[in-house]
């Protein structure tokens, strides 16, 4: 094995892999999930961080599966309270995307030396039009966040 191959393989193994998440060659993370009983894939969006894409997948997985053990989730402690299991795939898509964008915005807004832990403390509503309130005061009223470092297009998940 050459030196460059060893360096590449050590970089790949140092990054944690999350269920339902893959990294694009330009560095963004994407998430999608299959709708049970169909061949349809539900696009959950493009995110700046792998953690945000993983949370979006977790929310969709929870909403779409009849029974889910917490071992099936990337971040079982990050599931927002009050999400419903009896939603349409489009509502699941919106709910999962909102959760992922909330995590992305919180991680990106943190100073670089923080440990990137994210907590969703309060979530009001159920289904479409969720409002997320993060423990440090950041909130989201939908699928758009304002910030200089956040570069996520609505077209990425429509």
The domain 3-156 having CATH identifier 3.40.50.10800: the answer here is no
The pTM for the full model equals 0.62
| pLDDT tens digit sequence for 84-103 | 888 889 999 999 999 999 99
SS (H, E, C) the chain: CCHHHHHHHHHHHHCCCCCCEEECCCCCEEEEEECCCCCCEEEEEEECCHHHHHHHHHHHHHHHCCCCCHHHCCCHHHCCCCCCCCCCHHHHHHHHHHHHHHHHHHHHHCCCCCCCCCCEEEEECCCCCCEEEECCCCEECCCCCCCCCCCCCHHHCC
| pLDDT of 133 over the 80 cut | no
| pLDDT of 140 over the 50 cut | no
Ordered by start, the domain boundaries in the chain are 3-156
């Amino acid at each position: 094995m050459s030196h460059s191959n060893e360096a590449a393989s050590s970089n790949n193994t140092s990054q944690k892999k999350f269920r339902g998440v893959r990294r694009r060659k330009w560095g963004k993370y994407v998430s999608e999930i299959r709708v049970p009983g169909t061949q349809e894939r539900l696009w959950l969006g493009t995110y700046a961080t792998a953690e945000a894409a993983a949370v979006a997948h977790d929310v969709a997985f929870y909403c779409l599966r009849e029974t889910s053990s917490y071992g099936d989730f990337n971040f079982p402690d990050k599931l927002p309270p009050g999400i419903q299991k009896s939603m349409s795939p489009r509502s699941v898509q919106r709910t999962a995307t909102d959760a992922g964008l909330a995590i992305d915005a919180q991680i990106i807004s943190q100073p670089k030396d923080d440990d990137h832990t994210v907590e969703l403390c309060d979530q009001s509503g159920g289904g479409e039009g969720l409002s997320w309130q993060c423990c440090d005061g950041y909130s989201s009223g939908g699928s758009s966040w304002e910030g200089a470092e956040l570069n996520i297009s609505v077209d990425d998940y429509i």
